[in-house]
Structure 1
Amino acid sequence: MSEEVGFVTMAKVERKVEEIRSIGIGMLGYAFMGKAHAHAWKSIPTYFWPPPALPRLVAICGRTKEAVFEAARRFGFEQYYTDWSLLVKNPDIEIFDNCGPNNMHAEPCIAAAEAGKHVVCEKPLGRNAEESRRMLEAVRKAGVKHMCAYNYRFVPAVRLAKKLIEDGLLGRIYHFRARYLQEWIMDPNFPLVWRLRKDVAGSGPLGDLGSHIIDLARFLVGEVKAVAAITQTFIKERPLPEDPSKKGLVTVEDAFASVVEFDNGAIG
């Protein structure tokens, strides 16, 4: 029995693997989200079998040569770049996965689409509506597949809520309520990192956290018809990362709230 399990069954599995095509992945960004996405790509055969394609980690890109080399080694990428324009031109890459800071979303994604790559981008798409609109127009014009990494859609509780709504078990939806709280910038001595700078991030928790809430609202309830919102920056100055004895201006909000009306008449 052990021989049958160890040799016959596994041989069948190996033949199946050989029949599955590989798909080349090129990634921009190697920090927190780059690490998470690299792990996710490598985990696809574990959670989805047989997968439609086996991800091949072709190349990763970042600004600092030493750091991106180490990331390529740790995450299992074959190559590394410090110039994203070279990454998107690599013929072995079929999917461009953008895990970079917000100011590095628009131009690399647009160039990748123009090069015929399918595009996965971290949220928020762009720093503002104009950048996001250009990105959408580029992928539509190129005819490539495209998506934004709204992972909360796949949380089991959210999937169950979606099914309950679609099956009519909750009746008509009248109200949607959501809160997303994080405490990592509550300390006024927390440094002025890029997420607190409008030129890099574009927005604060509105784009970083609120984008998830907006996506789940649309996913579960439907499109938004009207919105009223307010933002506030409670801690207006923070220590500079390079010199904590000096402070710089926080140029994004650190809190926001909104009320919305949906197309179906629900409010939230």
Structure 2
Amino acid sequence: MTQRSIGVGLVGTGFMGKTHALAWRGARATMGGDLPSVRLELLCDQPLARAEAMADQFGFAAATEDWRALMADPRIDVVSITTPNALHHEMALAALAAGKHVWCEKPMALTLEQVRAMEAAARASGRKTLVGYNYIRNPAFRHALKLIREGVIGRPVHFRGWVDEDYQADPDLPWTWRAKLSEAGLGTLGDLGCHLVSFMSELMGPAESLLAETQIIHETRPLPEGGGRGPVENEDVANALIRFESGAQGVFTTSRSAWGRKNRLGWEVHGLKGMLIFDQERMNELQLYVDEGPKAAQGFRTILTGPEHPPFGSFVPAPGHQLGFLDLKTIEAAELLRDLGGGAPARPDFSEALKIEIFIHAVALAAREGRRVRLSEFES
């Protein structure tokens, strides 16, 4: 693997910006010295005073309030884009045009047209890209994939998936950019549902077609400056019935207005010989049922992740000590660094993430037009 240092630029200092900064700082220390070293060169936010304060906190060498200056900076090899959704498209295109590699948070952009332009630019540039689906880095999930490949539960025949949170459940929560199509794009599908698709695609393979419905629960919200209420333009809830190319079927549901749910991202895979169950709120556990032995002795068993489930052991040498959300982000950064150093490709890149975006937009289209939508309709 090529041993060289990687210069990093970070745009955005909210929660996801912080996770990127921590992941960049911790990847090599946690995941191994064979990774290229990292130089945290330049951080961008507005106003400049905030950028300077966050650069100091996160450990970046310099700060700017001009994201275009960051893209042009010759010290930077890779750009982390953690801004609100509406800025992803323009920033990613600028970074790629400047010869930078790109690590972009999901969703990739507001529309499929923008996503396709990003994917085409990435292919033409030859630069590395990665989209922030860190949940699929979970050792529990990777063990589930291993069990499926080994035939432990037999051929998968049905999928049930859900992702619910309650951050939009309160009808009196003030209106924000997340309610506007021109700033957020899709609602719960783009914010939450795409994470479920990242799981589902790995577990079940490509979807063939789907039926769907969406719902806006709170059609208006109080404007933060007072003086009335603003319209909510995107969905709070989405549901889909899916046919996979394999012949399996599935159920997909997501809500951002589900009281009491904090990060209820979970799924079941039903096989001919057994079942796997996962719940992100108990992210260090995997439930397995196998139809073996006396019926009276059968039942679900809990697999608690530990060093036997890579790369858990890179963080802690003993089972039962638990990994967390930030650890999954560190794994994600390490995989991008390994790719930049000449190792295995990090994924999903823009081309693979385009398929995730197509699925969530297919759900929106099926709900809007009241018909079964085939994923082949989106082939370019």
1:166 aligns with 2:149: yes
Mapped to 2, the partners of 1:168 and 1:104 lie a distance apart of: 43
TM-score of the two chains, using structure 1 as the length reference: 0.89
Contact map agreement 2:28 2:35 (CA 8 A) in 1: no
Contact map agreement 1:44 1:51 (CA 8 A) in 2: no
Mapped to 1, the partners of 2:213 and 2:49 lie a distance apart of: 42
* Residue equivalent to 1:258: 240
Q: Secondary structure, in 3 states, of the residue corresponding to 1:57?
A: strand
Contact map agreement 1:106 1:135 (CA 8 A) in 2: yes
* Residue equivalent to 1:3: none
Q: Secondary structure, in 3 states, of the residue corresponding to 1:179?
A: strand
Mapped to 1, the partners of 2:48 and 2:146 lie a distance apart of: 46
Mapped to 1, the partners of 2:70 and 2:182 lie a distance apart of: 24
* Residue equivalent to 1:87: 70
1:237 aligns with 2:216: no
Mapped to 2, the partners of 1:211 and 1:51 lie a distance apart of: 32
Residue correspondences, number: 249
Contact map agreement 2:222 2:230 (CA 8 A) in 1: yes
TM-score of the two chains, using structure 2 as the length reference: 0.64
Q: Against the structure 1 CA distance between its residues 42 and 51, is the aligned structure 2 distance closer, same or farther, given a 3 Å change threshold?
A: farther
Mapped to 2, the partners of 1:45 and 1:147 lie a distance apart of: 18
Q: Pick one of 169, 179, 183 that aligns with 1:196.
A: 179
* Residue equivalent to 1:28: 11
**Aligned-pair RMSD on alpha carbons?**
1.4
Return the letter of the residue paired with 2:233. Answer: T
| Gaps in structure 2 of 5+ consecutive residues | 251-380
Query: C-alpha displacement at 1:82, in angstroms?
Result: 1.3
Contact map agreement 2:207 2:245 (CA 8 A) in 1: yes
Query: C-alpha displacement at 1:84, in angstroms?
Result: 1.3
- Runs (4+) off by over 4 Å: none
Query: C-alpha displacement at 1:66, in angstroms?
Result: 2.0
Mapped to 1, the partners of 2:193 and 2:19 lie a distance apart of: 20
* Residue equivalent to 2:50: 67
Contact map agreement 2:8 2:39 (CA 8 A) in 1: yes
Mapped to 1, the partners of 2:77 and 2:113 lie a distance apart of: 26
* Residue equivalent to 1:117: 100
1:185 aligns with 2:165: no
* Residue equivalent to 1:127: 110
Mapped to 1, the partners of 2:200 and 2:247 lie a distance apart of: 13
Query: C-alpha displacement at 1:226, in angstroms?
Result: 0.8
| Gaps in structure 1 of 5+ consecutive residues | 1-18
Q: Secondary structure, in 3 states, of the residue corresponding to 1:47?
A: helix
The one-character-per-residue Cα deviations of 1:193-229 (angstroms, maximum 9, x if unpaired) are 2222211110111000000011111112111111222
Query: C-alpha displacement at 1:100, in angstroms?
Result: 0.5
Return the letter of the residue paired with 2:231. Answer: L
1:247 aligns with 2:233: no
* Residue equivalent to 1:104: 87
* Residue equivalent to 1:43: 26
Mapped to 2, the partners of 1:94 and 1:258 lie a distance apart of: 40
Contact map agreement 1:195 1:204 (CA 8 A) in 2: yes
Mapped to 1, the partners of 2:47 and 2:232 lie a distance apart of: 26
Query: C-alpha displacement at 1:144, in angstroms?
Result: 0.7
Query: C-alpha displacement at 1:20, in angstroms?
Result: 4.8
Q: Pick one of 210, 218, 232 that aligns with 2:193.
A: 210
* Residue equivalent to 1:13: none
Identity of aligned residues (%): 39
